[in-house]
Every structure is written in C-alpha cells, then in structure tokens.
C-alpha cells in the first residue's frame, strides 16, 4: 500500500513538474526498496528521533 502511494505521488509530481523530499520515520512499513523514484526522494529519520520531531507521538 505504501509503495503504491509512493508511485502515485511520483506521478503527481511529474504532472506538477516538481521534485520533493519525503521524510519518514524508520518503521518497517516505510519500505521503498525496489522502486525507481526520480522525483520523490525518501529519507528515513534516524532511530529514536520521531518523538523529538513529533512530540504528540509520546
């Protein structure tokens, strides 16, 4: 489901002619392995930083 969403996001960015950086937490469900994304760059946050970036997650 996540990978399908990323592909859809890539398509939307192509239409809008944009490049984006997507920051995600390091949960295993955020796996973009095997996808060839040119307009969406996915970067995982380091472990144990989510609660610092998203205080409501505590």
Residue scoring higher pLDDT (50 or 42): 42
Query: Could you give the CA distance from residue 58 to residue 5 in angstroms, rounded to a whole number?
Result: 26
Residue in the block written with tokens 């609660």: 51
What is the rounded average pLDDT of the residues 28-32?
83
Query: pLDDT of 17-27, one tens digit each?
Result: 999 999 988 88
Query: Is residue 16 pLDDT above 90, yes or no?
Result: yes
Name which of 53, 3, 4, 56 is nearest 28 in CA terms: 3
Q: How far apart are the first and last CA of the chain?
A: 26
- The domain segmentation of the chain, as residue ranges, is 2-57
């Amino acid at each position: 489901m996540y990978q399908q969403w990323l592909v859809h996001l890539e398509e939307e960015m192509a239409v809008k002619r944009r490049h984006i950086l997507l920051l995600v937490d390091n949960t295993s469900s955020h796996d973009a392995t095997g996808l060839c994304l040119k307009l969406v760059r996915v970067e995982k946050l380091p472990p144990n930083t989510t609660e610092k970036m998203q205080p409501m997650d505590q």
